[in-house]
Amino acid sequence: MAANRTSTSVRTPLPHELREERRQAGRTQREVADEMDWSESKIYRIEKGEVGISTTDLKALLSYYRVTDEDRISYLIRMRRAGREAGPPGS
């Protein structure tokens, strides 16, 4: 059944990774939204893989989560780019 799912979160684990980074940082979606000056629904949709995230926003988010490992940051940026190149869900 999972093979029929076409969401971005299936193609790339970036949404899951970002949710885990937020949890490790001890932040709620509301706290992140307030700090980033985004809506809480934007955080929710990013973490569900319903919308993408720009490289600039990704870097700012990782900075807020205090992710400092350059290899980890590069890995997540590559994941974002891979998801973008895969095209929109259902393509």
Q: How far is CA 35 from the centre of its chain?
A: 16
Q: How far is CA 28 from the centre of its chain?
A: 14
pLDDT recorded at residue 79: 92
How many C-alpha atoms does 80 have within 13 Å on its Cβ side?
Answer: 20
Nearest to 80 by CA among 5, 7, 15: 15
pLDDT recorded at residue 62: 98
What's the average pLDDT block by block, 10 residues per block, for the chain (91 residues)? 39 86 97 97 96 96 97 95 63 41
Contact 82, 73 (CB under 8 A): no
* 9-83 CATH choice from 3.40.50.300, 1.10.340.30, 1.10.10.60, 1.10.260.40: 1.10.260.40
Buried b (16+ CB within 10 A) or exposed e, 44-79: eebbebeebbeeeebbebbebbebeeeeeeeebeeb
